[in-house]
Amino acid sequence: MALEIDSRHKNNLLWSSFFGGGAAGLFVDVVLFPLDTLKTRLQAEQGFKNAGGFKGIYKGLGVQVIGSAPQAALFFITYESIKYYSEQLVPKGSMPFVYMFGASVAEVMACLVRVPMEVIKQRKQTSIGDKSSIKILLAAYKYEGFFKGVYRGFGSTIMREVPFSIIQFPILEYCKSTYQNKFKNNIPLESFEVAVCGSIAGGISAAITTPLDVVKTRIMLADRKSLKSESLTFMRTFKRILKKEGIKGLFAGILPRTLWIFLGGYIFFGSYDFAKNNIYDILEEKRPNR
C-alpha cells in the first residue's frame, strides 16, 4: 500500500508540474509579448526600423499562444522527473550538476515544439506584409524543406537554450534553498518568493547569453538568398556578426531581452509554483488512503 501511495504522489507531482508549466508559459508569453517583438526587431539584420519598429508589436502572438503552453509543459515534466528521481540517488553536493543536466535535456525536448513556433513568430514579427502563420509555415516547408525551413535554427536554439538553462537553474535552486534555509527556517517558500528567485536567475542568464540569442535570431530570419550563398552555421554567423557589427552587434537587444526575461522569470516561476501547488493539492484531495 505504501508503494501504491508513493506512486500516486509521484504521478500527482509530475502531472501538476506538467499543467503548472503549461499555464505559466502561456501567461508569461502573452503578457510580455511586446518586449519579445522589440528584442527580435533590434536583433534583425535589416535594422529595427526596417523590421517594423514600434508598429504591430503583437504580430505573431497567435502562434505564440498555440506553442507556449505545450513547450513549457514538456520542459517542466522532463525537468521535474529528472530532479525527482535524482534526488533519491545522487548526493546532495552533486545536485547542481543534476539541475544542469535536467534543464539541458528538458530544453531539447521543449525545442521540438518551440523551434517551428519560433520560426513562424519571428518572421511575422519582422515582416512588413500580413502573411498568415499558415502561409509562412507552408512557404518555409515548400522552399526550404522540413529541417532547413520548419526546423531552421534548431541547432542554434539548442546552443542558446542549453547554456541559458545551465546558468539559470542552478542559480534558481541556489537562491531558493539559501533563502529557505536562512530566512524561512526551512519552511516552503511562497509563490512570490519563488518568483523573486526566478527573476534574479532569469535576468543574469539572459544578459550573459544574449550573443547566442542574436545568432539564433539571425539564422532563423535569414532569407533564401543567404541560404544559397553560404552555410549558416552557428560559428560562421557568430563570426560574421562580430566582424561586421562588433561586440555591439552581438549584444543587440540586450536591454529588452534582459528586462523581458527578468520580468518573465518573476511571472513565470511565480505562476508556475502557484499553479503547480494548487493543481497538486486538488489531485491529492482526490487520492484515497490519504
pLDDT at residue 7 in the model: 65
Q: Cell numbers 519598429 label which residue? A: 53
Q: How far apart are CA 242 and CA 52, in angstroms?
A: 24
Q: Is the pLDDT of residue 124 over 90?
A: no
Buried b (16+ CB within 10 A) or exposed e, 122-140: bbbbbbeeeeebeebbeeb
Q: Report yes or no: 241 and 214 within 8 Å, Cβ to Cβ.
A: yes
Whether the predicted model's global pTM rises above the 0.85 cut: no
Q: How many domains does the chain have?
A: 1
Q: Report yes or no: 214 and 250 within 8 Å, Cβ to Cβ.
A: yes
Domain limits for position 186? 2-285
Q: Residues 23-46: pLDDT tens digits?
A: 888 888 888 899 889 999 999 888
| CATH number reported for the structural domain that contains residue 149 in this entry | 1.50.40.10
Q: Is the pLDDT of residue 260 over 60?
A: yes
Q: Is the pLDDT of residue 203 over 90?
A: yes
Q: Round the average pLDDT of the chain to a whole number and report it.
A: 85
Q: How far apart are CA 254 and CA 210, in angstroms?
A: 6
Buried b (16+ CB within 10 A) or exposed e, 65-100: eebbbbbbbbbbbbbbbbbeebeeeeeeeebeebbb
Q: How far apart are CA 81 and CA 95, in angstroms?
A: 14
pLDDT at residue 287 in the model: 54
CA-nearest of 222, 104, 209 to 152 is 222
CA-nearest of 104, 117, 248 to 169 is 104
Q: How far apart are CA 66 and CA 199, in angstroms?
A: 24
Confirm whether 290 is domain-assigned: no
Q: Report yes or no: 140 and 106 within 8 Å, Cβ to Cβ.
A: no
Confirm whether 21 is domain-assigned: yes
Give the residue with greater pLDDT, 207 vs 148. Answer: 207
User: Band of the pLDDT at 4, cuts 50, 70, 90?
Assistant: very low
User: Band of the pLDDT at 95, cuts 50, 70, 90?
Assistant: confident
SS3 (DSSP) at 281: helix
pLDDT at residue 238 in the model: 92
